[in-house]
Amino acid sequence: MWSIGFEISLALMDMENALMRAGANGQAIMRSILMPDQKKLYAFRMRIPTLLIALALGMNGLAPALAQDREVPYWASISSPEVRMRVGPSRDFPIEWVYKRDGLPVKIVRVQESWRLVQDPEGAQGWMAASLLSLERTAIVVGEGVTPIRTSPSDTSDLKWNVEPGVVGKLGKCTAGWCEFDASGRAGWVLKERLWGAGEP
């Protein structure tokens, strides 16, 4: 059983969530290899046990939606250092995951008032407040092993850096199977197939 104090702490954390904004997602750089945060690695979320109680329904989020309504599905990104994914579109619903990756790309698959049903890079789905999401396009490196960031969209162009799976960066234009990718200022071209968040949602 969870204590009353812990439940109150969760309520306070929900209030703080709405105040969290900005903050760049940093990646450690060692010997020209871009790596995800060593504390988080590719496990960018943390599961929260579901409360075994009946929850009242009908309370809607009060914060204005920053991720505006569009035809679903569409890409978005997390715009807060910590975001909670819930099992339903209200703060009354239990928290299932806590995400601590500002800029992490997500796919919006459903819209309900000020809430968005999102899918993360590993396929998990749940509801997030629209005010904690942005329409800024980002991507996360996926696949096995490092992938190169090159000076131009070609296998024969110069190598600038290597990036490991789990690195998140800003996504630019894509052409001929390559996409512009900026990981904390280390920018260049990365194969589109190695980026979750590029292409059609």
Position 145 pLDDT exceeds 50: yes
Q: 127 φ, ψ to 5°?
A: -105, 135
What are phi and psi for residue 28, nearest 5 degrees? -75, 145
pLDDT at 35 over 50: yes
Token duo for residue 27: 């990646």
Residues spanned by the domain of 10: 4-23+44-52+60-137
Q: Tell me the pLDDT band of 44, cut-offs 50, 70 and 90.
A: low
What pLDDT score was predicted for residue 49? 55
Does a structural domain hold residue 156? no
- What percentage of the chain has pLDDT greater than the value 70? 66
Number of domains forming the structure of the chain: 1
pLDDT for residue 22 is more than 50: no
CATH number, domain of 108, equals 2.30.30.40
- State the pLDDT confidence band at 57, using cuts at 50, 70 and 90: very low
Residues near 173 by beta carbon (within 8 Å), at least 6 away in sequence: 179, 180
Asked if the structure places residue 8 within a domain, the reply is yes
Asked, for residue 192, whether it belongs to a domain, the answer is: no
